[in-house]
Amino acid sequence: MNTNLLIDNLTNPALLFFLLGIIAVQLKSDLEIPPGSSKFISLYLLFSIGFKGGQELSHEAFTMEIFGSILLGITIALIIPIYTFFLLKRYMNVYDAGAIAAAYGSVSAVTFVSAVSYLEGMGETLHGYMVAIMALMESPAIIAGLVLISIFNKEKTDGIQKRHAIQHSLTNGSVLLIMGSLLIGYLANAEQAEGIKPFTNDIFKGFLAIFLLDMGIVSGRKLVTLLKHGWFPFAFATIIPIINGCVFAAASSLVTHKVSDRFIFGILAASASYIAVPAAMKITVPKANPGLFLPMALAVTFPVNITIGMPVYYCIARLF
């Protein structure tokens, strides 16, 4: 791996703000981002990525490469929950194993946003259809997790609750916003879109830095909880994402020749959901422990991906 890529990433202002958030927690500082502001910034980031992706998509013709990429994205979202479930089930109960498997098969929109910023720093362009693939990967992983729990648990489960969870995975606010913004960006007139370019482009990295500061504060608080559960959750949340990211950054060369797309496939495979999946699992699997899957995804996997993961996946994407 090119050490310059790692050094450049570790000195990225957005990442340094994330580290500042963790340090603030360790110092017991009262630094925090108001919940309302944090929610607005997260909505802005999803809107901006979706709209820009739609604009890019409007200039592209549907090809077999795009079709193959969509199939690969859905396949990733199904394969990862299945193999991780059986690994997790050796160390924990079926409810926790299913919830964690769903989280790691699903995707993190915030990690995706950070990856887009990283790509821009590398002089690469994100292709619009990758935004759609990211959104499409949310639901299959949740459904796979629910099916695995249904098959292997010994207690009867409520089918109505499952339907609610699946519906939630399809109408989740984050998914709806990014898909809606993608569609609007696709339909919007190019000249009219220029009018909001200062909002969607110019201030993006500033908002990302503040949002990652907030994520650092939340991660710092969750990490303490996770350490109480022993070594396995921490090891899983560190090692498995790196393996997934490397494997699929390389395997994606079978469907696309674009370095940026292969890098994004690595990120999508490596990231873990800490918004949509916890919300869905709360509805349908109340016996799953959020003190496990939430800090695993947010306090361990997220920082691993944005520090070490991204340079590694980018190098592999370039090699293949």
Question: In this predicted model, what pLDDT tens digit does every residue of 283-308 receive, in sequence order?
Answer: 677 788 887 888 899 889 999 999 89
CA dist 169 and 138 (Å) reads 7
List the one residue out of 272, 267, 251, 276 whose CA is nearest residue 69.
251
171-226 pLDDT, tens digit each: 667 667 877 888 898 888 878 888 888 888 778 888 888 988 988 888 888 877 78
Give the CATH class of 35-319. Answer: mainly alpha
Between residues 55 and 232, the one the model is more confident about: 232
In whole angstroms, give the CA distance from residue 161 to residue 164.
Answer: 5
pTM flag (> 0.85): no
28 closest CA partner among 287, 220, 237? 220
Farthest-apart Cα atoms in the chain, separation: 59
Residue 31 has pLDDT above 80, yes or no: yes
- Considering Cα of 65, then 66, then 71, then 72, what sign does the dihedral take? positive
Domain positions in the chain: 35-319
Q: Could you count the other beta carbons within 10 Å of the beta carbon of residue 296? A: 26
Tokens of 44: 């802005």
- Model confidence at 262, pLDDT cuts 50, 70, 90, reads very high
Measured CA to CA, the distance from residue 228 to residue 271 in angstroms comes to 23
Q: How far apart are CA 259 and CA 261, in angstroms?
A: 6
Quick check: 26 and 220 in contact, CB under 8 A? yes
- For the chain, give the percent of residues with pLDDT over 90: 35
Q: What pLDDT does 159 receive? A: 46
Q: Which tokens hold the place of 269?
A: 């495979």
* pLDDT at res. 314: 95
* Structure confidence at residue 8 as a pLDDT band (50, 70, 90): low
DSSP 57: H
Residue 6 CB coordination number (10 Å) = 16
Give the model confidence (pLDDT) of 37-78 as tens digits: 888 888 888 888 788 878 877 877 788 999 999 999 999 999
For residue 33, the number of C-alpha atoms closer than 13 Å in the C-beta half-sphere is 24
8 Å CB contact between 215 and 302: yes
